[in-house]
Structure formats: C-alpha cells, structure tokens
Structure 1
C-alpha cells in the first residue's frame, strides 16, 4: 500500500505559484503569484460552468417530479399499505391537487423505463465525448450537449402525447447530450486550471449540479401545482437555450484564444501548466489499463455514484413510504441533502487548495484525505439513518449529513483525473463516468427489488449495500491513488523528443 504522501515533492508540486521553480534541473521564471481572482477569465469560466451544470441537473431531474403529476392516479390505486410502519404526522397541511394537466395511464413498469431511459443514452457518449473534447476542445461539445438536452426537454410534452415509447426515446436522446458534458468540462479545465487552484475551480463549477438538484426538485413541484406540468419542461428548456447563448459568446477553449483575458493571467495559466500538458496524438490504452491510480479513480467514482444515484432516485419514495412525509414536505426535504452537498463542495475546494499551497500537504495526501471523508462519512450516516425508526427529525438529519459529506469527495477522486493525466483528463473522466453510470441503471433497480413491501428492514438492507460499496471504494482509492502525472500520460512527448533529435 502506498503511503498517503509518497509522491515526490518535486513532481507533486510542479508548477506552483512561485516566481521561480526548479523542474528537472532547469530554472524557469514564472509570472507573479498575485493574479486577480475577481473578474478573471478562469473564474468567469467557473461561474458559467456552474450555471451550465445547474442546467444539466435541472434538465435531468425535473421529470422525476413532473411524472407524478402526469400519471392518472385514479387508474393506479396500488398504494402499498404494508409500509405504514410509522404513523402519519400529526399536522399535515391540506393540499388541493391541481388536475388541469393531461394525464396518462402508464403503469409502474412503464414509469420505471421512462425514468431509467436517460442513463442508457448517457453512458454511450461518455468515452467518445472525452476523446473528442481532448482533440478539438470542450467548449462547443459541452455547449451543444446542453443545448441538445434543452431542445429535447422542450419537446417532452409532445413526446408524452405521442406515447410512452416516444418519451423514452426523447429521454435517451437527452442522456446522449448530457453524456459529453462532464468529460468536455474536464478537458477544458486541463487547459484552464492552475494546479494549486484546481480544487476550488472544479468544485465551484461542478457544484452547479447539486444546486440544480436543490432548486429544480421543489421548483418543479411548485410549477406543477400552480401552472401545469408542461411548463416544467418549457421553462427549464428555455433557460437551457439561454445559457447556451451566454456560453457561446463568453467562453473559449483555452487561454490562448480568449478575447478578453489579461496578458498577466494568460501567462500565469500557461506557465503553470507548461510541464503537464502533452500534445501527442496517441492514446496509451495498454498503459492506462494497467494503471492502478486510474483504476483507483474508477472504483471510487463507481462506489460514490452507487449511493448518490440510489438516493437521488429513491429518497422521495423513502420519505413518503417510510417516514410518511406528504408531497409538500417531500419536495423540500428531498432537496435538503443536495443543498448540504452543494455547500460542502464549494467550501471543500478552498480548503483543499489551502492545504496544498499554505500547509504543504502533498497532492496525493489531500486527495486521499478528502476522498476518505467524502465516502466513509456518508456510509456511516447512511447506516445510522436506517436505525432511526420513526424519529423523523433524526432520519432527515442523518440522510442530509450522508449526502452532504459526499461533497468532500470533489477534492478526492473527482479532480484526480487532472493530477495523474491532465492531457487525457476529458477521456479519463469519460472512462470513469461510464463505469459510474452503471449504478444509475442497476442500483435503483436492485433497491426496488429489495423493497417490495417497503419495510424498515428492507430499506436497512439497501443502506447496508450502499454503505459497503462506499467503504470499499474509499479503501481502494486510499491504497492505490496517486497525485503525480503518470509516465504514460507524458510518454508521447518523450517519444516525439527522441524523434526530433534524430
């Protein structure tokens, strides 16, 4: 097992923010360390990326809420009364149901296919998206991925009218569009994020995903109630198109092509990344397959997403069937854990970079510390939530803490792609996210099969499985993760250098 700080300091902290740095025996001059953050191009990119991933998740989860209002409940009176282990709350507000929208007679199996179809499209474009982004840049790929998802979201009411099959196809196409977004963003950050600012820049941009979940879950419910479920898709789809226009006008693939970046910031970013990026065309497939640090990211990403997707899909069900919260309470309480996760992600990036820059922690130590906290902590609180019985407050607190602490892993496995292979960061995220999409397809299915009767004991088993997978992922990452650029990630530069000599 590697020690948590085993990477050499020279490799680990190349290129820093100092004015002078010794690398491989040569002295290189760097721009001044004080490069403004406010109004800088790299932080503007992070904010626009945050809004982009806000849209990505808002467009992804809005159907989960709208579908409840789309179903003709009078034809499906199949409430499972065996779940009534806990009593109803003493004060439950009376809510008049808005029934002006169109209703469809889709059974539970059909609804399951509709909700799951997104991931079948999503998994297909992960690796191609990462590869293409590494070759041509991530700006247009990410932009058109969100735009395509937004357009198909606008077409969702029409597809629903045509039939469940059309709706399933539209959702799968939405998944195809969103599948390129994370790999494309990682590819862009490989050209934009100075090493000692990676944690805060990436955590800020990807925190938009959690924020999108927090806002879209309750907001979609309010839209369904006060307007009509079709406006859920029209409003979020229109916002996605508007974001694409901003993205296209204000963002560039790299600092060299940005129109308004200051010369100081441009030189600062390019100098800090000078020794990390290779321009080789070949992908070292065999070396990647043998790379334990890469497999450490794969296992951690898979494990984290198992818990994340299980709760994202089934937390509203648990809130309703076990904890007996009504629809109004359910929407708010289901979003609460993701608000905590968003806060955790935003603050974690700053703390991680502070530990590296000011406290001289090695990259690998920071990654392992935050990944362990972000996976073992959620596992512990998830187990605890299964033993709260009918203590509603304690159950909500534990579930919120479980999901919130997961945000710490943003400074763990999530950023680690850029540490070990910045030139292939988009492709690597496509690979790991392909594995990590599998839990979204099979995790909720397994959980549903284990909770037919919706008893507390059955849900405890679901939490056991998720916690065990999380724990395994944390231990595997702690054992094999690295914080330095791998030899196979710079191999092409060395090969080209030898050819140039001859």
Structure 2
C-alpha cells in the first residue's frame, strides 16, 4: 500500500528554490524595446511598406496630369509635349502642369480603369505564394527582390507610357505582382523575430507605413506633378524605393541567431519566447484542415470586408481612422492560431482580400449606371452590409488559440 510522505521544512524550501529556478529558466526576462533589434526590424519594414504603397497610389494622383480629357482629338494612345493654344483659348490660361513639358495622353475612362485595376490582378496571384515562399527561402530574399522589382518598374512607368498602353498595362501588372509579394511575404519574418505577446505591436508599427505612404503620396504627388512634371513623381518614389531596398539587404536578417548587431540578452529573450513554436521542416501544410477551419475563413472574410472603402466627410474620416485598428487584429490573427504555417496563411488571407479592389469598382460602376442620382447611396449601403457581415462572422468564429491542426505532431515508431 502506498503511503503519503511529507517533506521536511528544509526539503520543502529546497524544492521551492528548485521550482523558482525552473520558472526563471522557462519565463524569459523581457528586454527593453527601445533601440532593440526587433523594433529596428519593424521600423525598416515600416519604410518598405511606406515605399510600396506610395508607389501603388501615385498613379491615382498623376493620372490627372497624364490624361488630356479636354482634347478635341480622340486617339487611343496619342501623346504630345504640350497642348495646342486653341484647346484653352489662351496659352496663359492653360494649367500650370502643362508648363513642365510632360507628355499628355488621350486615354478614355475605360482605359484609365484598366490601368488602375492592373495592379490588383497581381495581388490575387502572388499574395499566398509569396507568403509560402518567404517561409521556405526566407523573408529577406522574397521581400528584398520584390521591393527592388517594384521600385525599378516605378522608374520605368514614364517610358512604358511612351511605348504604348499595352506596355504600361503589362508594367503595372508585373508591378502589382512585386508589390503584393512585399506585403504578403513580410509576415513570415515575425515567426522568428516576434515574441507572441509583442507581435501585434510589431506588426502595427510595420503596417502603419502603408498609411503614411498613402498620405504622403497624395500630399506631395500633385505638387511634384505641377512643379516638375508627372514623370518625376515616379522617378522620386522609385528612387526612394531603391534606397529602402539597399537598407533592407544590409539591415534585415531572417532570424535573430544570425543577426550581427543583436545583444545576447535580446537574442535569448526572443528564442526562449518562441520555443513552443519551433516548426519542423518536414511537417506539411494541412490543406484540408485549413479549408475546414472557420477561424481561418473569419480572418479571410474580415480582411475582405475591410478592403471593400460616409456621405459626410467627418464620418468618412472617422471610418478610415477606425479601420486601421484591423491591422493589429484580423491581419495578424494567423500568427495566433497557426504560427507554424503563418507565412502561407497570412498571404492567403491577404490574397483573398485582394479580390475586393477588383470587384468593388466593377459593382460600383454598375450601381451608378443603374441609378445616377442615388447610386452612391446604394454603394455605401452595400459596403456597410459587407463590413457588418464580416465583423459578425469574425466575432462568432474568430479565435486566438493555436488550432489543433497547426500544432506539432509527434511521430512514434514501434
């Protein structure tokens, strides 16, 4: 018969001391975030996102200067160094942007819509593969090469426009492939750099560069077009992207163990925080389990509904401000429920949401053509319904715990 034995006070003190030592080993001591390597990585990603989104947005600003919608002649891809005096009645009354001697094209609204949407087609194709590829070969290579590609293509857009509309559309499509690879491939870096309780903050710092890039492009894009000419908008932001690309390859490393400028304490802090999430390279992605996972679908639908853009300026500004909170929620939720496969699933969810910028303009144009007077009201009501349904679905099925299909499976041999 087993009997219960009691420990002496000395033995109990010794056991408690051992437990405290074990706890000290298992619980990593937090390293200050100021001037740390992991927050430096987030800051570099911030500038990369700033550059990528700015390069995506500037076409919306320069199109006003690139297109001559008042020209009496209609050509498919005609260009001129300036407009004739007869077009405005007096040369002195011509827009100031024409004094920059930049080419002006006669593109119809349909052609302009194709040019705008060409970038979105690439997002559907590369978001998920870029995340998967970054998880396999490293974020440094995928994001760095993609950032250089989109920056180089940005520099080439004025030349492509001179060659013809087909060259411009192809350039925009390839640029979209590169831009979405930057966005979809960057999340894999937090698998090895982001402690679980800091990932929301780190990702928010990195993703906030998108908002700053959009704001900056809109703020100064028109000024550059007016003073220097619209081609210089692409030259300036393309050059900034090349500088960020150089900074990326110098500063970024795929994991803290190979980072030359990280302190020993921070390296130990990050690696000890991620011990439970070390993934096996031999473990395949459970596709069937992912497709049946309602938390994954809640993330995808949440991202989709967020991407779809109230009559009052104040309400529109407030909705845009509040929508940024999604960056620290649904956009990085995959890191919580499936950290082992987060690089692929993060890209897949963002790729799913990339269908919205392609579908929304088409549906909006249809609604506006059906009801020119109240069409915008119907558009906003539809977007409200999509956002609300995405929110409800995410609140019901969204989770923050690691899913069973994403946990490490131990194989036993008899």
**CA-CA distance at 1:452 after TM superposition:** 3.6
Distance 1:258 1:31, change over 3 A: farther
Hey, what does 2:63 align to over in structure 1? 67
Please state if 1:290 is matched with 2:207.
no
Q: Is the 8 A contact 2:51 2:213 kept in 1?
A: yes
**Offset at residue 423 of structure 1 (A):** 1.6
Match of 2:80 in 1: none
Comparing 228-237 and 116-125, the one that deviates more: 116-125
Counterpart secondary structure, 2:40:
helix
| Matched position secondary structure for 1:451 | helix
Distance 2:131 2:332 in 1: 15
Q: What's 2:156 paired with?
A: 155
8 Å Cα contact 1:30-1:268 kept in structure 2: no
- SS of the equivalent of 1:155 reads helix
Aligned pair 1:143/2:117, yes or no? no
Query: How far, CA to CA, are the matches of 1:130 and 1:106 in structure 2?
Result: 36
Closer, same or farther in 2 for the Cα pair 1:51/1:76, shift >3 Å? farther
- Contact between 1:182 and 1:429, CA under 8 Å: does it hold in 2? no
> Structure 1 residues 76, 206: closer, same or farther in 2, change over 3 A?
farther
d(CA) in 2 for partners of 1:179 and 1:97?
Answer: 35
Aligned twin of 1:412: 329
- Answer whether contact 1:420 1:486 (CA < 8 A) is retained: yes
* 1:48 correspondence with 2:44: yes
In structure 2, list runs of 5 or more residues that go unmatched. Answer: 1-17, 75-92
List structure 1 runs of 4+ shifted beyond 6 angstroms. none
1:495 aligns with 2:385: no
**Structure 1 residues 123, 267: closer, same or farther in 2, change over 3 A?**
same
2:96 corresponds in structure 1 to 97
Return the offset for 1:77: 10
Instruction: Give 1:301's aligned residue.
Output: 303
**Are 1:403 and 2:320 matched, yes or no?**
yes
Deviation at 1:144, TM superposition (A): 1.1
Structure-1 residue corresponding to 2:174: 173
Tell me how far apart the structure 1 counterparts of residues 178 and 375 of structure 2 sit (CA, whole Å): 36
Match of 1:376 in 2: none
Does 438-447 or 275-284 show the bigger shift? Answer: 275-284
Counterpart mapping for 1:322-341 below 5 A: none
CA distance in 2, matches of 1:230, 1:131: 35
Give the whole-Å Cα distance in 2 for the aligned partners of 1:263 and 1:454.
65
Give ranges in structure 1 of 5+ residues lacking alignment: 1-19, 79-93, 308-384, 387-394
1:179 positional shift = 1.8
1:21 positional shift: 10
In structure 1, the residue corresponding to 2:378 is in which secondary structure?
helix
Distance of 1:454 and 1:277 partners within structure 2? 56
Question: Displacement, 1:229?
Answer: 0.4
Q: Tell me what 2:128 maps to.
A: 127
Give the drift of 1:28. Answer: 7.1
TM-score after normalising by structure 1 = 0.71
Distance 1:77 1:170 in 2: 27
Query: Partners of 2:396 and 2:228 in 1: how far apart?
Result: 52
Query: Could you tell me which residue of structure 2 aligns to residue 482 of structure 1?
Result: 399
CA contact (8 A) 2:203 2:332 kept: yes
In the aligned structure 1, how far is the partner of 2:186 from the partner of 2:373?
40
Change (3 A) 1:424 1:77: farther
Task: Spell out, residue by residue over 1:206-262, the C-alpha distance to the aligned partner (whole angstroms, 9 max, x if none).
Answer: 010011000011211111011100001100001100100001001100111111111
Larger radius of gyration: 2
In 2, distance between residues paired with 1:483 and 1:236? 38
Asked whether the 8 Å contact 1:129–1:180 carries over to 2, the reply is: yes
